[in-house]
Structure 1
Amino acid sequence: MAPADSGLFDRLERFYDAMPRPWARIEEIGSLVLFIREGEGWPYYARPRPGSPTPSAAEITEVRARQRDLGLPETFEWVHETSPDLLAVARSAGLDVLLAPLLVLDPAALVPDLPLRDATLRYLDPAGPTFAADLHASRTVSRLGFAAPAYQAPLEMAEKALFIQGAGPTERDAAEPLDAEAVRQARELFASGAFLTAVAESPAEGIVATATSQRDGDVAEVVGVATLPSARRRGYASQLTATLSGRLVADDVDLVFLSAGDDDVARLYTRVGFRRVGTACIAEPAAALL
């Protein structure tokens, strides 16, 4: 792992705090900030308030109660290098913590754009006539991909994962369509320039992989990188990540970063120009991580 860079982590903290604010309502509970998404989209989380003392177990418990009242996932996120004492506190408060490799892009090491195998790359256009269908396909691919990780599921999850492990275009297309309000809000988000989604599209299978960036100023995070389970091992995810990152750099973003699910996934990103700098912590109640 690279040596700690306090300036880098300060920039990441400012990004994490700023990115949800245009789309969320804010509640501060002690040293924690709870972001409550307004409208459709993935629910947000609670994070330590920048510059605050380490949150206590009692504050975590209070935030969890508030999240339950609001019908939100009891999720917390932070960077270990910025809040090193929070890991032990979160575990003492009954949370399981995923330690996700945190990587930043080295633009000089970024691999060039390469042709995708049996697919083409394009970006979702919020003004285009196919935006609603493209958004539906992209989000469904992401949901199916994350529901069936590429690594071998534990035995106790095998039965639950049986359907989604082999999910393909049929399962993607069978997903319930997005409602008109969700599409409207997504158009607004994408038109603002804060969000950009690249997809790999096969002539025979449609959209089979997706990657999204969320941007605040000159910092951007690559998120939601996923491949339809039936279309894995074709290099889609890594090339989408590289191409999307290259576009961000060309558009004056000078810090591109992402979090990987584990060390094996992190190694895929290091091959396209990223390097590990730290650890992103994602905490949920034990049952939620099963």
Structure 2
Amino acid sequence: MDHVPAELFDRLERFYDAVPRDAARAEEFGGLVLFVREGAGWPFYARPRRDASRPPSVADIDDVRARQRELGLPEAFEWVHETTPDLLAVARSAGLAVLEAPLLVLDPVACPDPAGLTDVPVWLLDPAAPDFAVQVATRRAVAAVGFSAPGTARGDAGPAERDAAINELDLAAVEEEASRTADGRRISALAGTPAEGALACGMAMRVDDVAEIAGVATLPVARGRGLGAAVTATLAHALRQAGTDLVFLSAGSEEIARVYVRVGFRRIGTACIAEPAAVLP
């Protein structure tokens, strides 16, 4: 990896800290902060405090895990290794298994035209569309099926499994998604055909001029058709057009990272994602 300016990592830290704060309360435990979502929605994580006077300790992790169990939350922790390098050993000594995920940023001039990556249409979700709620539910179902079979290899799960995974969203969830999409804090994309329906998905979270692409997934039966790359490139172009200066993402493995490298991302570091050792395979 090339030398990465410290200022870039600081921008990422500000982003990671800001994303949960409009939907969660922050509880501090020594060198860590736990974000507790207010209301329904995907639960957040604990991560290093930006203003901490000391690095997180095993005791801090234990305290956070006890609080997460008390609240019925996943015992989840996230951080950037280059920013908090000592936490990797501390987390493992506290009984956590740590996924070291490649952390990549976009080189805008290297991002290809999505139309050249696949012959399958890719579109952005529009909160004004009459079927917006259905498309959001479909995006979540595609992600659930795709992430249930990690990696890039083809598999059997396809439209039938997607349709079985679609859940009707409550009004609050739809309104939150629509609000975040309308004001540019979130961008979502689907790829698919009229005959097959949605086959791949992705989304991005944006704070000011920094955005993270996440949730890129393809139904196993549709892999190998360039869909993940096309969805990622579509989101990247949309973010840049909206004035986003820094676009980044984390890959679940080196194999998956190679897909993102093909659409203009370069590795700058490692994002650590930790859970109790018995949870991760």
State TM-score, norm by structure 2: 0.95
| Match status 1:20 vs 2:17 | no
Distance in 2, Cα, partners of 1:257 & 1:137 = 24
| Residue 157 (structure 2) aligns with | 167
Distance in 1, Cα, partners of 2:275 & 2:123 = 34
| Residue 91 (structure 1) aligns with | 92
Note if contact 2:152-2:223 (Cα within 8 Å) is conserved in structure 1: no
Q: CA RMSD for the aligned pairs?
A: 1.6
Deviation string, structure 1 residues 217-258 (Cα, Å, up to 9, x no partner): 000000000011111111000111012101111211110000
Deviation string, structure 1 residues 86-113 (Cα, Å, up to 9, x no partner): 0000000000000000000011111123
Distance in 2, Cα, partners of 1:188 & 1:38 = 16
Distance in 1, Cα, partners of 2:258 & 2:117 = 20
Unaligned runs of 5+ in 1: 153-163
Q: CA deviation at 1:151?
A: 5.4
Q: CA deviation at 1:117?
A: 3.9
Note if contact 1:34-1:45 (Cα within 8 Å) is conserved in structure 2: yes
Distance in 2, Cα, partners of 1:140 & 1:132 = 12
Paired positions, count: 279
Distance in 1, Cα, partners of 2:51 & 2:100 = 22
Q: Which runs of 4+ in 1 moved over 3 A?
A: 115-118
Note if contact 2:125-2:188 (Cα within 8 Å) is conserved in structure 1: yes
| Residue 244 (structure 1) aligns with | 235
Unaligned runs of 5+ in 2: none
State TM-score, norm by structure 1: 0.92
The letter of the residue matching 2:159 is P
The letter of the residue matching 2:20 is P
Residues 38-187 of structure 1 aligned to structure 2 (within 5 Å): 38-52=38-52, 53-115=54-116, 117-150=118-151, 165-175=155-165, 176-187=167-178
Aligned-partner SS, 2:266: strand
The letter of the residue matching 1:222 is I
Distance in 1, Cα, partners of 2:152 & 2:185 = 31
Distance in 2, Cα, partners of 1:118 & 1:258 = 24
Deviation string, structure 1 residues 144-164 (Cα, Å, up to 9, x no partner): 111111257xxxxxxxxxxx9
Q: Select which of 245, 257, 260 maps to 1:266.
A: 257
What's the % identity of the aligned pairs? 58
Q: Select which of 206, 217, 222 maps to 2:208.
A: 217
